[in-house]
A and B are shown apart, each in its own frame.
Chain A
Amino acid sequence: MTEQEFSNFASGDEKALHQFYIAHFGYVTGRLLYKEKCPKDRVREMYNDAVLAVRDRAMSGNLRPDNLLGFLLVTASNCWKMELRRQSSLLKRHERYLEQLPDNIDDTDFDNLIRSEEETGLEVRRQRHTLALRQALSKLSDACRELLTDTIVNGLKVGGLAEKFGLKDARGVTAKKQDCKGQLERQTLHILQQNGWANNAERSG
């Protein structure tokens, strides 16, 4: 990977992510299969988790471009070892919970979507909150959703987002972010109350 390619990868460029994913797929999945004895039906999942974890690390500025493959291998191996120890991260448990939800939950009785803590690894309070947040996010504008993802998930600095969102400056981005977060909190609280889960919300959002 050239410096430019790494720079793109670390800035969250999704095309660079695709290239990185394809470039190391064979080698890393091979190592998982034949060295770590990861079953074939779990290899893709472990590789995906590892690639996204490496991307997060690169985006946080805590990863150097040299020996990227080595770090990916160690991460993939650790992902599988954590699975073997049944030590999924909180994030992974959230992903699994969201993954098994139907695509359209608008007409679904939310109580039917709550599973036991043993099954999901998530306490009921968390499941309710995640459901309400997912529903609230779907009602948010694309721009708000993207801004919140860029700032909260990708950790991008507000200063660099003004142009992307057509705002005057960093202050404008911060104001827009607060506005979006406010909308999200109100919507989430509303959904929790609608489902009789209001006591679940100490503060929504």
Chain B
Amino acid sequence: MEENVDKTLRAYADGSLSGEALEAFERQLEQDPDLRSELDLYLALKAMDNLRLKKQLQQIEVAEDVSPPAPFITRRRMLWTAAAASVALVLAAVWWLREAPRPDAAQLAQEYTAKPYPSPVATMGNDTSQPDAVEQAFLAYRSGDFSAAAAQLTALAAKPDAGDKILFYAGESLLQTGQAERAVAFFERVPPGELRDVADWRHALALLQINRPNEAKPILEKMKTGSRKAQAEALLNAIK
């Protein structure tokens, strides 16, 4: 074969001949039986040799134990992955801040109630101006016997002339013995004066414990300007 024909024949066989060169070669093939024979011989020999080489390569591949790689991460893809992870982290943080479960208002109220309100000053000394029953009730409260205190103080509070201390501590004793619903009635009755503010505070806590947040809310709103601002806001957030 002449070198040019040889080149063209190879290009025709491997499919790299195109355009006018392809058309010209196909015309030549139609007219030249010798060229057709050369092509047939080349194709048969080349195809057989390729199959032989491919078998060899397959054996080499097995012997060398090579296989296509696992997915690789390009540097660019790695940067994109890192950026996506950062965005996801920020979104998760925002979600957590907005949507993370807030402490339950009733639970928070329970925590605030856990510490009993300090005993009345009169019980610290010998105040002979108070009747024995009142003194006994406050002594029970002071000693931490809230059940006894609650029983005695609620009995005293039933009298129409019951003072603010009796009403407030009756409510507080009930609150300390888990009777928030009953305590509400006593806190409501505390008249304006020295204990009214603290009665409002304990009143709101009692309402939250019995799941009446709508009634507690206006009381807590009023407290946002007072000394219990932080606790009031925490409870209001918990209610939201």
Instruction: Note whether A and B form a binding pair.
Output: yes
Residues of B within 8 A of A134 (CB): 44, 48
**In the complex the two chains form, what is the Cα distance from A34 to B45 in whole Å?**
34
Interface locus among A3-11, A63-71, A106-114, A145-153: A145-153
Choose among B37, B50, B66 the residue that contacts A91 (Cβ–Cβ < 8 A): B50
Residues of A within 8 A of B66 (CB): 22, 25-26
**In the complex the two chains form, what is the Cα distance from A134 to B43 in whole Å?**
11
Asked if A98 meets B15 with Cβ closer than 8 Å, knowing A26-B68, A33-B68, A152-B42, the reply is no
**In the complex the two chains form, what is the Cα distance from A137 to B48 in whole Å?**
10
Task: Kindly state the interface size class of chain A when it binds its partner.
Answer: 35 or more
Residues of B within 8 A of A139 (CB): none
- Which B20-49 residues have C-beta < 8 A from chain A? 33-34, 36-37, 40-49
Q: How far is the CB of A134 from chain B (nearest CB, A)?
A: 6
Q: Report B1-30 CB contacts with A as 1/0, cut-off 8 Å.
A: 100001100101111100000000000000
Asked if A17 meets B53 with Cβ closer than 8 Å, knowing A22-B66, A155-B6, A203-B33, the reply is yes
Do B60 and A90 touch across chains, with their CB atoms under 8 A apart? Answer: no
- When C-beta atoms are compared, the residue in chain A nearest to B44 turns out to be A133
Do A52 and B54 touch across chains, with their CB atoms under 8 A apart? Answer: yes
Do B45 and A40 touch across chains, with their CB atoms under 8 A apart? Answer: no
Do B13 and A91 touch across chains, with their CB atoms under 8 A apart? Answer: yes
Asked if A53 meets B14 with Cβ closer than 8 Å, knowing A18-B57, A22-B60, A26-B69, the reply is yes
**In the complex the two chains form, what is the Cα distance from A90 to B12 in whole Å?**
8
Choose among A18, A53, A149 the residue that contacts B56 (Cβ–Cβ < 8 A): A18
Q: Report B55-84 CB contacts with A as 1/0, cut-off 8 Å.
A: 011101100101011011000000000000
**In the complex the two chains form, what is the Cα distance from A61 to B71 in whole Å?**
36
Asked if A89 meets B40 with Cβ closer than 8 Å, knowing A43-B68, A52-B54, the reply is no
Cβ of A87 under 8 Å from chain B: yes
Cβ of A142 under 8 Å from chain B: no
- When C-beta atoms are compared, the residue in chain A nearest to B59 turns out to be A18
Do A126 and B40 touch across chains, with their CB atoms under 8 A apart? Answer: yes
**In the complex the two chains form, what is the Cα distance from A48 to B1 in whole Å?**
28
Choose among B7, B41, B47, B53 the residue that contacts A205 (Cβ–Cβ < 8 A): B41
Q: Report A32-44 CB contacts with B as 1/0, cut-off 8 Å.
A: 1110000010011
Cβ of B114 under 8 Å from chain A: no
**In the complex the two chains form, what is the Cα distance from A21 to B53 in whole Å?**
11
**In the complex the two chains form, what is the Cα distance from A170 to B43 in whole Å?**
25
Cβ of B121 under 8 Å from chain A: no
Q: Report B71-102 CB contacts with A as 1/0, cut-off 8 Å.
A: 11000000000000000000000000000000
Cβ of A169 under 8 Å from chain B: no
- When C-beta atoms are compared, the residue in chain A nearest to B42 turns out to be A152
Residues of B within 8 A of A32 (CB): 68
- Which A35-91 residues have C-beta < 8 A from chain B? 40, 43-44, 48, 51-53, 56, 60, 82, 87-91
Do A89 and B57 touch across chains, with their CB atoms under 8 A apart? Answer: no
- Which A129-163 residues have C-beta < 8 A from chain B? 129-130, 133-134, 137, 148-149, 152-153, 155
Cβ of A202 under 8 Å from chain B: yes
> Could you give 19 example pairs across A and B, Cβ below 8 Å?
A25-B68, A33-B71, A44-B58, A44-B61, A89-B13, A89-B14, A89-B16, A90-B13, A90-B14, A90-B43, A91-B43, A92-B15, A95-B51, A97-B47, A130-B43, A137-B44, A137-B48, A152-B42, A202-B36
Q: Which residues of B contact A (CB under 8 A)?
A: 1, 6-7, 10, 12-16, 33-34, 36-37, 40-51, 53-54, 56-58, 60-61, 64, 66, 68-69, 71-72
Q: Which 5 A-B pairs have the closest CB atoms?
A: A89-B15, A94-B47, A133-B44, A29-B68, A30-B69
Q: Which residues of A contact B (CB under 8 A)?
A: 14, 17-18, 21-22, 25-27, 29-30, 32-34, 40, 43-44, 48, 51-53, 56, 60, 82, 87-92, 94-95, 97-99, 126, 129-130, 133-134, 137, 148-149, 152-153, 155, 181, 184-185, 202-205
Q: Contacts A94-B46, A152-B41 given; 10 further ones with Cβ under 8 A?
A: A25-B61, A25-B68, A27-B69, A90-B14, A91-B14, A91-B50, A133-B45, A148-B41, A153-B45, A202-B36
